[in-house]
Chains A and B, each alone.
Chain A
Amino acid sequence: MIEVKHLNKSFDGKQVLYDISATFRHGAVNQIIGKSGSGKTVLMKSIIGLFKAESGEVLYDGRNLLDMSKREIKLLRREVGMLFQGSALFDSMSVIENVMYPLQMFSDMSKIDVEKRAKFCLERVNLQTHAYHLMPGEISGGMQKRVAIARAISLNPKYLFCDEPNSGLDPVTSLVIDKLIEDITQEFNITTIINTHDMNSIMETGANIILINKGHKGWEGSKEGIFTDDNQALNDFVFASELYKKVKLANQK
Protein backbone atom coordinates (compact mmCIF):
# COMPACT_ATOMS: atom_id res chain seq x y z
CA MET A 1 0.00 0.00 0.00
CA ILE A 2 1.17 3.52 -0.75
CA GLU A 3 -0.11 6.45 1.26
CA VAL A 4 0.37 10.10 0.42
CA LYS A 5 -0.18 12.63 3.22
CA HIS A 6 -0.40 16.41 2.82
CA LEU A 7 1.92 16.46 -0.18
CA ASN A 8 2.96 19.86 -1.56
CA LYS A 9 5.13 20.48 -4.58
CA SER A 10 6.15 23.66 -6.38
CA PHE A 11 8.52 24.64 -9.19
CA ASP A 12 10.37 27.97 -9.00
CA GLY A 13 7.92 29.27 -6.44
CA LYS A 14 4.84 28.22 -8.42
CA GLN A 15 2.81 25.69 -6.45
CA VAL A 16 1.68 22.71 -8.52
CA LEU A 17 0.35 20.31 -5.88
CA TYR A 18 -1.66 21.47 -2.85
CA ASP A 19 -1.96 19.33 0.26
CA ILE A 20 -2.67 16.04 -1.52
CA SER A 21 -3.60 13.07 0.65
CA ALA A 22 -4.56 9.70 -0.81
CA THR A 23 -4.31 5.97 -0.25
CA PHE A 24 -3.34 3.59 -3.06
CA ARG A 25 -4.54 0.12 -2.27
CA HIS A 26 -2.48 -3.04 -2.38
CA GLY A 27 -3.39 -5.59 -5.07
CA ALA A 28 -5.64 -3.11 -6.87
CA VAL A 29 -5.43 -0.80 -9.85
CA ASN A 30 -5.39 2.74 -8.47
CA GLN A 31 -5.84 5.61 -10.90
CA ILE A 32 -4.82 9.24 -10.83
CA ILE A 33 -7.05 11.03 -13.30
CA GLY A 34 -7.44 14.64 -14.39
CA LYS A 35 -7.17 17.04 -17.28
CA SER A 36 -3.86 17.71 -19.01
CA GLY A 37 -1.80 20.10 -16.86
CA SER A 38 -3.77 19.33 -13.69
CA GLY A 39 -0.67 18.00 -11.91
CA LYS A 40 -1.21 14.23 -12.10
CA THR A 41 2.20 13.49 -13.66
CA VAL A 42 3.88 15.72 -11.05
CA LEU A 43 2.00 13.77 -8.36
CA MET A 44 3.11 10.43 -9.77
CA LYS A 45 6.73 11.56 -10.17
CA SER A 46 6.66 12.96 -6.61
CA ILE A 47 5.40 9.62 -5.31
CA ILE A 48 8.20 7.78 -7.11
CA GLY A 49 10.78 10.34 -6.02
CA LEU A 50 11.75 11.68 -9.45
CA PHE A 51 10.54 15.04 -8.07
CA LYS A 52 11.23 15.89 -4.44
CA ALA A 53 8.13 17.17 -2.65
CA GLU A 54 8.56 20.18 -0.35
CA SER A 55 6.43 18.79 2.45
CA GLY A 56 4.20 15.87 3.33
CA GLU A 57 4.75 12.14 3.43
CA VAL A 58 4.92 9.37 0.84
CA LEU A 59 4.61 6.08 2.69
CA TYR A 60 5.55 2.83 0.98
CA ASP A 61 4.07 0.28 3.38
CA GLY A 62 4.89 2.66 6.20
CA ARG A 63 8.35 3.73 4.96
CA ASN A 64 8.45 7.46 4.26
CA LEU A 65 10.21 8.19 0.96
CA LEU A 66 10.95 11.78 1.99
CA ASP A 67 12.90 10.63 5.07
CA MET A 68 14.96 8.04 3.19
CA SER A 69 18.68 8.32 2.47
CA LYS A 70 19.88 8.06 -1.14
CA ARG A 71 20.87 4.45 -0.50
CA GLU A 72 17.45 3.60 0.93
CA ILE A 73 15.74 5.23 -2.06
CA LYS A 74 17.95 3.18 -4.37
CA LEU A 75 16.95 -0.02 -2.61
CA LEU A 76 13.28 0.97 -2.66
CA ARG A 77 13.49 1.58 -6.41
CA ARG A 78 14.29 -2.11 -6.89
CA GLU A 79 10.78 -2.83 -5.58
CA VAL A 80 9.31 -0.48 -8.16
CA GLY A 81 8.42 -1.09 -11.80
CA MET A 82 7.37 1.65 -14.15
CA LEU A 83 5.69 1.83 -17.50
CA PHE A 84 6.43 5.16 -19.18
CA GLN A 85 4.17 7.08 -21.55
CA GLY A 86 6.56 6.52 -24.47
CA SER A 87 7.60 3.04 -23.21
CA ALA A 88 11.21 4.28 -22.64
CA LEU A 89 12.74 1.08 -23.95
CA PHE A 90 16.52 1.24 -24.37
CA ASP A 91 16.87 1.61 -28.11
CA SER A 92 20.41 0.21 -28.19
CA MET A 93 19.13 -3.14 -26.86
CA SER A 94 16.88 -5.78 -28.39
CA VAL A 95 13.48 -6.59 -26.90
CA ILE A 96 14.76 -9.48 -24.79
CA GLU A 97 17.87 -7.55 -23.72
CA ASN A 98 15.59 -4.78 -22.45
CA VAL A 99 13.77 -7.27 -20.20
CA MET A 100 17.01 -8.96 -19.15
CA TYR A 101 18.66 -5.66 -18.22
CA PRO A 102 17.22 -5.17 -14.68
CA LEU A 103 17.87 -8.84 -13.92
CA GLN A 104 21.50 -8.62 -15.06
CA MET A 105 21.94 -5.41 -13.10
CA PHE A 106 20.37 -6.38 -9.79
CA SER A 107 20.05 -10.13 -9.46
CA ASP A 108 22.55 -12.91 -8.87
CA MET A 109 20.84 -15.15 -11.41
CA SER A 110 22.90 -17.11 -13.92
CA LYS A 111 22.80 -16.13 -17.58
CA ILE A 112 20.47 -19.03 -18.37
CA ASP A 113 18.09 -18.15 -15.53
CA VAL A 114 18.07 -14.49 -16.56
CA GLU A 115 17.07 -15.48 -20.08
CA LYS A 116 14.44 -17.90 -18.75
CA ARG A 117 12.92 -15.22 -16.53
CA ALA A 118 12.95 -12.66 -19.38
CA LYS A 119 11.19 -15.14 -21.68
CA PHE A 120 8.63 -15.89 -18.96
CA CYS A 121 7.86 -12.17 -18.59
CA LEU A 122 7.59 -11.70 -22.35
CA GLU A 123 5.30 -14.73 -22.62
CA ARG A 124 3.23 -13.34 -19.75
CA VAL A 125 2.55 -10.16 -21.72
CA ASN A 126 1.70 -12.30 -24.78
CA LEU A 127 4.52 -11.10 -26.98
CA GLN A 128 5.18 -13.30 -29.99
CA THR A 129 8.56 -15.06 -29.84
CA HIS A 130 9.65 -13.74 -33.23
CA ALA A 131 9.83 -10.25 -31.71
CA TYR A 132 12.29 -11.18 -28.94
CA HIS A 133 15.37 -10.29 -30.93
CA LEU A 134 13.98 -7.25 -32.73
CA MET A 135 14.99 -3.74 -31.74
CA PRO A 136 12.38 -1.47 -30.07
CA GLY A 137 12.16 0.68 -33.22
CA GLU A 138 11.12 -2.38 -35.23
CA ILE A 139 8.00 -3.25 -33.22
CA SER A 140 4.60 -1.53 -32.94
CA GLY A 141 3.58 0.87 -30.16
CA GLY A 142 1.37 -1.78 -28.55
CA MET A 143 4.20 -4.30 -28.55
CA GLN A 144 6.54 -1.70 -27.08
CA LYS A 145 4.10 -1.23 -24.18
CA ARG A 146 4.01 -4.98 -23.62
CA VAL A 147 7.81 -5.14 -23.55
CA ALA A 148 7.88 -2.20 -21.13
CA ILE A 149 5.41 -4.05 -18.88
CA ALA A 150 7.54 -7.20 -19.12
CA ARG A 151 10.63 -5.19 -18.15
CA ALA A 152 8.73 -3.52 -15.28
CA ILE A 153 7.64 -6.86 -13.77
CA SER A 154 10.91 -8.72 -14.38
CA LEU A 155 12.22 -8.09 -10.85
CA ASN A 156 8.88 -8.97 -9.21
CA PRO A 157 8.07 -5.43 -8.11
CA LYS A 158 5.79 -4.62 -5.19
CA TYR A 159 4.71 -1.36 -6.78
CA LEU A 160 3.90 -0.70 -10.43
CA PHE A 161 3.53 2.80 -11.86
CA CYS A 162 2.03 3.40 -15.31
CA ASP A 163 2.17 6.87 -16.84
CA GLU A 164 -0.58 7.14 -19.44
CA PRO A 165 -0.21 3.54 -20.63
CA ASN A 166 -2.72 4.03 -23.46
CA SER A 167 -1.26 7.12 -25.05
CA GLY A 168 -0.76 6.65 -28.78
CA LEU A 169 -2.64 3.34 -28.86
CA ASP A 170 -5.84 2.45 -30.70
CA PRO A 171 -8.92 1.66 -28.54
CA VAL A 172 -8.62 -2.11 -29.02
CA THR A 173 -4.93 -2.27 -28.06
CA SER A 174 -5.65 0.12 -25.18
CA LEU A 175 -8.17 -2.34 -23.77
CA VAL A 176 -5.69 -5.19 -24.12
CA ILE A 177 -3.02 -3.21 -22.24
CA ASP A 178 -5.53 -2.20 -19.52
CA LYS A 179 -6.59 -5.82 -19.06
CA LEU A 180 -2.97 -6.92 -18.94
CA ILE A 181 -2.11 -4.39 -16.23
CA GLU A 182 -5.18 -5.40 -14.22
CA ASP A 183 -4.38 -9.13 -14.52
CA ILE A 184 -0.73 -8.63 -13.59
CA THR A 185 -1.70 -6.48 -10.59
CA GLN A 186 -3.94 -9.23 -9.23
CA GLU A 187 -1.69 -12.16 -10.21
CA PHE A 188 1.45 -10.71 -8.62
CA ASN A 189 -0.40 -8.84 -5.84
CA ILE A 190 1.11 -5.47 -6.73
CA THR A 191 0.13 -1.93 -5.75
CA THR A 192 -0.49 -0.38 -9.16
CA ILE A 193 -0.92 3.32 -9.83
CA ILE A 194 -2.02 4.42 -13.30
CA ASN A 195 -1.92 8.00 -14.42
CA THR A 196 -4.54 8.49 -17.14
CA HIS A 197 -7.18 10.69 -18.68
CA ASP A 198 -8.54 7.97 -20.91
CA MET A 199 -12.19 7.42 -19.98
CA ASN A 200 -12.32 3.89 -21.40
CA SER A 201 -9.36 2.95 -19.24
CA ILE A 202 -10.95 4.58 -16.19
CA MET A 203 -14.21 2.67 -16.68
CA GLU A 204 -12.34 -0.57 -17.40
CA THR A 205 -9.88 -0.78 -14.52
CA GLY A 206 -10.51 2.01 -12.00
CA ALA A 207 -10.91 0.24 -8.66
CA ASN A 208 -9.70 3.27 -6.72
CA ILE A 209 -9.69 6.65 -8.45
CA ILE A 210 -8.25 10.00 -7.40
CA LEU A 211 -9.12 13.06 -9.45
CA ILE A 212 -6.57 15.86 -9.51
CA ASN A 213 -7.98 19.26 -10.39
CA LYS A 214 -5.67 22.30 -10.64
CA GLY A 215 -3.22 20.68 -8.24
CA HIS A 216 -5.86 19.83 -5.61
CA LYS A 217 -7.46 16.50 -4.90
CA GLY A 218 -10.85 17.01 -6.51
CA TRP A 219 -12.50 13.68 -5.83
CA GLU A 220 -11.84 10.12 -4.68
CA GLY A 221 -13.92 7.05 -5.42
CA SER A 222 -14.31 4.08 -7.75
CA LYS A 223 -15.52 3.65 -11.33
CA GLU A 224 -19.01 2.89 -10.03
CA GLY A 225 -19.28 6.43 -8.67
CA ILE A 226 -18.05 8.19 -11.79
CA PHE A 227 -21.51 8.73 -13.32
CA THR A 228 -23.51 9.13 -10.14
CA ASP A 229 -21.43 11.48 -8.00
CA ASP A 230 -22.35 15.18 -8.03
CA ASN A 231 -18.79 16.44 -7.54
CA GLN A 232 -18.37 19.47 -9.83
CA ALA A 233 -14.70 18.86 -10.73
CA LEU A 234 -15.49 15.22 -11.55
CA ASN A 235 -18.50 16.15 -13.69
CA ASP A 236 -16.48 18.78 -15.55
CA PHE A 237 -13.87 16.14 -16.36
CA VAL A 238 -16.13 13.18 -17.18
CA PHE A 239 -18.94 14.95 -19.00
CA ALA A 240 -16.74 17.04 -21.24
CA SER A 241 -17.57 14.30 -23.73
CA GLU A 242 -21.06 14.34 -25.29
CA LEU A 243 -21.07 10.55 -25.27
CA TYR A 244 -20.77 10.35 -21.50
CA LYS A 245 -23.39 13.09 -21.07
CA LYS A 246 -25.77 10.82 -22.96
CA VAL A 247 -24.78 7.85 -20.79
CA LYS A 248 -25.55 9.88 -17.68
CA LEU A 249 -28.93 10.96 -19.03
CA ALA A 250 -29.76 7.36 -19.93
CA ASN A 251 -28.80 6.26 -16.41
CA GLN A 252 -31.03 8.94 -14.86
CA LYS A 253 -34.01 7.75 -16.91
Chain B
Amino acid sequence: MLGLDTVGRYVELMKRTFSKPDNWKMFWRQLPKEMEKLGIDSIGIIVLISIFMGAIMTMQTVLNTENPLLPRYSTGLVLRDTMLLEFASSIMSLLLAGKVGSNIASEIGSMRITEQIDALEIMGVNSANYLILPKVIGLVLCMPLLVTFSVFCGLIGGTGVAYFTDLIPVADFIYGIQYAFIPYYFTYSIIKSLFFGFIIASISAFYGYYAYGGALNVGRASTNAVVNSSIVILLMNIVLTQLLLV
Protein backbone atom coordinates (compact mmCIF):
# COMPACT_ATOMS: atom_id res chain seq x y z
CA MET B 1 0.00 0.00 0.00
CA LEU B 2 2.90 2.30 0.82
CA GLY B 3 4.31 1.74 -2.66
CA LEU B 4 0.97 2.49 -4.30
CA ASP B 5 0.61 5.62 -2.20
CA THR B 6 4.07 6.78 -3.31
CA VAL B 7 3.27 6.09 -6.97
CA GLY B 8 -0.02 7.96 -6.59
CA ARG B 9 1.69 11.00 -5.09
CA TYR B 10 4.36 10.88 -7.81
CA VAL B 11 1.69 10.83 -10.56
CA GLU B 12 -0.18 13.67 -8.85
CA LEU B 13 3.02 15.73 -8.65
CA MET B 14 3.81 15.09 -12.31
CA LYS B 15 0.30 16.20 -13.22
CA ARG B 16 0.95 19.51 -11.46
CA THR B 17 4.44 19.71 -12.97
CA PHE B 18 3.29 19.25 -16.55
CA SER B 19 0.67 21.95 -16.50
CA LYS B 20 0.87 25.29 -18.28
CA PRO B 21 3.47 27.55 -16.62
CA ASP B 22 2.08 30.60 -14.80
CA ASN B 23 4.51 32.76 -16.74
CA TRP B 24 6.22 31.47 -19.89
CA LYS B 25 8.83 34.22 -19.75
CA MET B 26 10.00 33.00 -16.34
CA PHE B 27 10.04 29.42 -17.60
CA TRP B 28 12.24 30.29 -20.60
CA ARG B 29 14.52 32.24 -18.27
CA GLN B 30 14.81 29.30 -15.89
CA LEU B 31 15.34 26.58 -18.53
CA PRO B 32 18.87 27.54 -19.71
CA LYS B 33 19.98 28.00 -16.09
CA GLU B 34 18.86 24.45 -15.29
CA MET B 35 20.46 23.10 -18.48
CA GLU B 36 23.72 24.68 -17.45
CA LYS B 37 23.53 23.48 -13.85
CA LEU B 38 22.34 19.92 -14.53
CA GLY B 39 23.80 19.20 -17.95
CA ILE B 40 26.72 21.42 -18.89
CA ASP B 41 28.23 21.28 -15.40
CA SER B 42 28.18 17.47 -15.62
CA ILE B 43 30.27 17.32 -18.78
CA GLY B 44 33.55 17.36 -16.84
CA ILE B 45 32.81 14.26 -14.78
CA ILE B 46 31.25 12.49 -17.79
CA VAL B 47 34.37 13.17 -19.87
CA LEU B 48 36.72 12.00 -17.11
CA ILE B 49 34.85 8.80 -16.32
CA SER B 50 34.22 7.94 -19.97
CA ILE B 51 37.90 8.31 -20.93
CA PHE B 52 38.98 6.01 -18.09
CA MET B 53 36.13 3.60 -18.77
CA GLY B 54 37.12 3.37 -22.46
CA ALA B 55 40.78 2.92 -21.58
CA ILE B 56 40.18 0.18 -19.02
CA MET B 57 37.67 -1.64 -21.21
CA THR B 58 40.18 -1.68 -24.04
CA MET B 59 42.90 -3.13 -21.77
CA GLN B 60 40.54 -5.73 -20.30
CA THR B 61 39.24 -6.76 -23.74
CA VAL B 62 42.75 -7.19 -25.15
CA LEU B 63 43.99 -9.11 -22.11
CA ASN B 64 40.97 -11.42 -21.84
CA THR B 65 40.40 -12.23 -25.49
CA GLU B 66 43.84 -13.36 -26.57
CA ASN B 67 42.77 -15.84 -29.20
CA PRO B 68 44.22 -16.25 -32.71
CA LEU B 69 40.69 -16.88 -34.04
CA LEU B 70 39.54 -13.42 -32.94
CA PRO B 71 40.58 -10.60 -35.26
CA ARG B 72 42.65 -7.88 -33.59
CA TYR B 73 40.20 -5.19 -34.62
CA SER B 74 37.48 -6.80 -32.47
CA THR B 75 38.68 -4.77 -29.44
CA GLY B 76 37.68 -1.48 -31.09
CA LEU B 77 34.38 -2.95 -32.22
CA VAL B 78 33.59 -4.28 -28.72
CA LEU B 79 34.43 -0.95 -27.11
CA ARG B 80 32.34 1.05 -29.59
CA ASP B 81 29.25 -1.13 -29.30
CA THR B 82 29.50 -1.48 -25.52
CA MET B 83 29.82 2.28 -25.11
CA LEU B 84 26.93 2.87 -27.50
CA LEU B 85 24.58 0.19 -26.25
CA GLU B 86 25.12 0.31 -22.53
CA PHE B 87 27.85 2.38 -20.94
CA ALA B 88 27.19 5.83 -22.42
CA SER B 89 23.48 5.72 -21.64
CA SER B 90 22.87 3.37 -18.70
CA ILE B 91 26.09 3.62 -16.70
CA MET B 92 26.34 7.37 -17.25
CA SER B 93 22.71 7.74 -16.17
CA LEU B 94 23.44 5.85 -12.96
CA LEU B 95 26.33 8.23 -12.40
CA LEU B 96 24.11 11.23 -13.10
CA ALA B 97 21.47 9.84 -10.73
CA GLY B 98 24.11 10.29 -8.04
CA LYS B 99 25.39 13.68 -9.08
CA VAL B 100 22.33 15.44 -10.50
CA GLY B 101 19.67 13.48 -8.58
CA SER B 102 21.09 14.33 -5.17
CA ASN B 103 21.51 17.95 -6.26
CA ILE B 104 17.86 18.23 -7.33
CA ALA B 105 16.50 16.46 -4.24
CA SER B 106 18.56 18.48 -1.78
CA GLU B 107 17.84 21.81 -3.51
CA ILE B 108 14.08 21.28 -3.58
CA GLY B 109 14.12 19.61 -0.15
CA SER B 110 15.92 22.61 1.38
CA MET B 111 13.37 24.92 -0.22
CA ARG B 112 10.60 22.83 1.31
CA ILE B 113 11.93 22.86 4.88
CA THR B 114 12.77 26.58 4.78
CA GLU B 115 9.19 27.34 3.65
CA GLN B 116 10.32 28.72 0.27
CA ILE B 117 7.88 26.37 -1.47
CA ASP B 118 5.08 27.58 0.83
CA ALA B 119 6.07 31.14 -0.08
CA LEU B 120 5.64 30.30 -3.77
CA GLU B 121 2.26 28.69 -3.13
CA ILE B 122 1.09 31.72 -1.12
CA MET B 123 1.98 33.95 -4.05
CA GLY B 124 -0.27 31.78 -6.23
CA VAL B 125 2.62 30.13 -8.08
CA ASN B 126 2.29 26.46 -9.07
CA SER B 127 5.48 25.53 -7.22
CA ALA B 128 5.74 22.05 -8.77
CA ASN B 129 5.55 23.50 -12.25
CA TYR B 130 7.90 26.40 -11.53
CA LEU B 131 10.57 24.33 -9.77
CA ILE B 132 10.40 20.90 -11.40
CA LEU B 133 9.43 21.42 -15.05
CA PRO B 134 12.59 23.36 -16.09
CA LYS B 135 14.74 20.74 -14.35
CA VAL B 136 13.04 17.80 -16.07
CA ILE B 137 13.05 19.41 -19.52
CA GLY B 138 16.54 20.82 -19.01
CA LEU B 139 18.04 17.43 -18.12
CA VAL B 140 16.13 15.57 -20.83
CA LEU B 141 17.43 18.05 -23.43
CA CYS B 142 21.01 17.71 -22.16
CA MET B 143 21.07 13.90 -22.06
CA PRO B 144 21.73 13.33 -25.81
CA LEU B 145 24.66 15.74 -25.57
CA LEU B 146 26.06 13.95 -22.51
CA VAL B 147 25.64 10.52 -24.13
CA THR B 148 27.40 11.70 -27.29
CA PHE B 149 30.25 13.11 -25.21
CA SER B 150 30.47 9.87 -23.27
CA VAL B 151 30.70 7.66 -26.40
CA PHE B 152 33.23 9.97 -27.98
CA CYS B 153 35.39 10.18 -24.83
CA GLY B 154 35.21 6.41 -24.27
CA LEU B 155 36.60 5.87 -27.77
CA ILE B 156 39.32 8.47 -27.14
CA GLY B 157 40.26 6.59 -23.94
CA GLY B 158 40.51 3.34 -25.89
CA THR B 159 42.53 4.97 -28.65
CA GLY B 160 44.86 6.38 -26.00
CA VAL B 161 45.57 2.88 -24.71
CA ALA B 162 46.29 1.69 -28.26
CA TYR B 163 48.54 4.69 -28.87
CA PHE B 164 50.52 4.69 -25.62
CA THR B 165 50.85 0.92 -25.08
CA ASP B 166 51.73 -1.96 -27.33
CA LEU B 167 48.61 -3.94 -26.41
CA ILE B 168 46.99 -3.37 -29.80
CA PRO B 169 48.10 -1.56 -32.98
CA VAL B 170 46.36 1.81 -33.37
CA ALA B 171 45.37 1.04 -36.98
CA ASP B 172 43.62 -2.21 -35.94
CA PHE B 173 41.82 -0.43 -33.11
CA ILE B 174 40.62 2.40 -35.37
CA TYR B 175 39.52 -0.14 -37.99
CA GLY B 176 37.52 -1.95 -35.31
CA ILE B 177 35.80 1.27 -34.25
CA GLN B 178 34.66 1.84 -37.85
CA TYR B 179 33.85 -1.78 -38.68
CA ALA B 180 30.18 -2.77 -39.24
CA PHE B 181 28.77 0.33 -37.60
CA ILE B 182 25.02 0.21 -37.05
CA PRO B 183 23.69 3.79 -36.81
CA TYR B 184 20.53 2.58 -35.02
CA TYR B 185 22.63 1.78 -31.94
CA PHE B 186 23.26 5.48 -31.55
CA THR B 187 19.53 6.25 -31.88
CA TYR B 188 18.81 3.52 -29.32
CA SER B 189 21.29 5.06 -26.90
CA ILE B 190 19.79 8.54 -27.31
CA ILE B 191 16.23 7.25 -26.80
CA LYS B 192 17.26 5.46 -23.62
CA SER B 193 19.03 8.55 -22.30
CA LEU B 194 15.89 10.67 -22.79
CA PHE B 195 13.90 8.25 -20.62
CA PHE B 196 16.67 8.08 -18.04
CA GLY B 197 16.94 11.88 -17.90
CA PHE B 198 13.23 12.10 -17.16
CA ILE B 199 13.50 9.40 -14.47
CA ILE B 200 16.44 11.07 -12.71
CA ALA B 201 14.95 14.57 -12.66
CA SER B 202 11.35 13.64 -11.84
CA ILE B 203 12.05 11.04 -9.13
CA SER B 204 14.67 13.22 -7.44
CA ALA B 205 12.34 16.23 -7.55
CA PHE B 206 9.56 14.07 -6.07
CA TYR B 207 11.67 13.09 -3.05
CA GLY B 208 12.85 16.67 -2.56
CA TYR B 209 9.36 18.13 -2.91
CA TYR B 210 7.91 15.89 -0.23
CA ALA B 211 10.82 16.27 2.20
CA TYR B 212 9.78 17.40 5.67
CA GLY B 213 11.34 18.23 9.01
CA GLY B 214 14.97 19.28 9.03
CA ALA B 215 18.39 18.79 7.46
CA LEU B 216 18.45 15.09 8.38
CA ASN B 217 15.34 14.46 6.30
CA VAL B 218 16.72 16.44 3.37
CA GLY B 219 19.72 14.10 3.45
CA ARG B 220 17.36 11.13 3.60
CA ALA B 221 15.35 12.51 0.66
CA SER B 222 18.56 12.89 -1.29
CA THR B 223 19.59 9.28 -0.59
CA ASN B 224 16.12 8.00 -1.50
CA ALA B 225 16.25 9.99 -4.73
CA VAL B 226 19.55 8.42 -5.79
CA VAL B 227 18.64 4.86 -4.76
CA ASN B 228 15.15 4.86 -6.26
CA SER B 229 16.02 6.59 -9.50
CA SER B 230 18.91 4.11 -9.95
CA ILE B 231 16.55 1.16 -9.42
CA VAL B 232 14.00 2.58 -11.87
CA ILE B 233 16.77 3.21 -14.44
CA LEU B 234 17.88 -0.43 -14.19
CA LEU B 235 14.32 -1.71 -14.57
CA MET B 236 13.57 0.68 -17.41
CA ASN B 237 16.80 -0.39 -19.10
CA ILE B 238 15.47 -3.94 -19.41
CA VAL B 239 12.09 -2.76 -20.69
CA LEU B 240 13.62 -0.39 -23.26
CA THR B 241 16.14 -2.96 -24.46
CA GLN B 242 13.32 -5.45 -24.93
CA LEU B 243 11.23 -2.90 -26.80
CA LEU B 244 13.95 -1.33 -28.94
CA LEU B 245 16.51 -4.06 -29.61
CA VAL B 246 15.09 -7.54 -29.14
A82 near B122 (CB under 8 angstroms)?
A: yes
Q: Give the most central of A76, A86, A155: most B CB within 10 Å.
A: A86
In the complex, B7 has a CB within 8 A of chain A: no
Partner of A84, one of B25, B115, B124: B115
Q: How many A-B residue pairs have CB under 8 A?
A: 52
> Given the known A-B contacts A104-B23, A105-B22, A105-B23, are A74 and B115 also in contact in the complex, defined by CB atoms under 8 Å?
no
Q: Give the most central of B22, B118, B124: most A CB within 10 Å.
A: B124
Task: Identify the closest chain B residue to A80 (Cβ).
Answer: B122
B121 near A105 (CB under 8 angstroms)?
A: no
Q: A35-50: which residues lie under 8 A (CB-CB) from chain B?
A: 48, 50
In the complex, A85 has a CB within 8 A of chain B: yes
Kindly state the separation between the CA atoms of A84 and B122 in the bound complex, as whole angstroms. Answer: 11
- Chain A residues with CB under 8 Å of B2's CB are none
A48 near B122 (CB under 8 angstroms)?
A: yes
Q: A88 CB to closest chain B CB, in angstroms?
A: 4
Partner of A88, one of B114, B124, B125, B126: B114
Main secondary structure of the interface of A (DSSP, over half): mixed
Q: Give the most central of A77, A88, A104: most B CB within 10 Å.
A: A88
Kindly state the separation between the CA atoms of A85 and B115 in the bound complex, as whole angstroms. Answer: 9
Kindly state the separation between the CA atoms of A77 and B110 in the bound complex, as whole angstroms. Answer: 23
Q: A144-160: which residues lie under 8 A (CB-CB) from chain B?
A: 155
A82 near B119 (CB under 8 angstroms)?
A: yes
> How many B residues are at the interface, by size bracket?
10 to 19
- Chain A residues with CB under 8 Å of B115's CB are 84-86, 88
B121 near A77 (CB under 8 angstroms)?
A: yes
- Chain B residues with CB under 8 Å of A101's CB are 123
Q: B144 CB to closest chain A CB, in angstroms?
A: 27
Given A50-B121, A105-B123, 17 further pairs, Cβ under 8 A: A48-B122, A50-B118, A74-B126, A82-B119, A84-B115, A84-B118, A85-B115, A86-B115, A88-B114, A88-B116, A88-B118, A88-B119, A89-B116, A91-B110, A104-B23, A104-B26, A161-B122
- Chain A residues with CB under 8 Å of B25's CB are 104
Q: A100 CB to closest chain B CB, in angstroms?
A: 11
Kindly state the separation between the CA atoms of A78 and B125 in the bound complex, as whole angstroms. Answer: 9
Task: Identify the closest chain A residue to B121 (Cβ).
Answer: A50
Q: A67-95: which residues lie under 8 A (CB-CB) from chain B?
A: 74-78, 80-82, 84-86, 88-91
Q: B111-147: which residues lie under 8 A (CB-CB) from chain A?
A: 111, 114-116, 118-119, 121-126
Kindly state the separation between the CA atoms of A106 and B25 in the bound complex, as whole angstroms. Answer: 11
27 A-B pairs within 8 Å (CB atoms) are namely A74-B124, A74-B126, A75-B124, A77-B121, A77-B122, A77-B123, A77-B124, A82-B119, A82-B122, A84-B115, A84-B118, A84-B119, A85-B115, A86-B115, A88-B114, A88-B118, A90-B111, A90-B116, A90-B119, A91-B116, A102-B123, A105-B26, A105-B125, A106-B22, A106-B123, A106-B124, A161-B122
Q: A5-57: which residues lie under 8 A (CB-CB) from chain B?
A: 48, 50
Kindly state the separation between the CA atoms of A77 and B124 in the bound complex, as whole angstroms. Answer: 5
Q: A175-233: which residues lie under 8 A (CB-CB) from chain B?
A: none
Q: B82-126: which residues lie under 8 A (CB-CB) from chain A?
A: 110-111, 114-116, 118-119, 121-126
- Chain B residues with CB under 8 Å of A90's CB are 111, 116, 119
- Chain A residues with CB under 8 Å of B125's CB are 105
- Chain A residues with CB under 8 Å of B26's CB are 104-105
Kindly state the separation between the CA atoms of A78 and B23 in the bound complex, as whole angstroms. Answer: 14
Kindly state the separation between the CA atoms of A26 and B122 in the bound complex, as whole angstroms. Answer: 20
Kindly state the separation between the CA atoms of A101 and B26 in the bound complex, as whole angstroms. Answer: 9
Q: B15 CB to closest chain A CB, in angstroms?
A: 12
- Chain B residues with CB under 8 Å of A88's CB are 114-116, 118-119
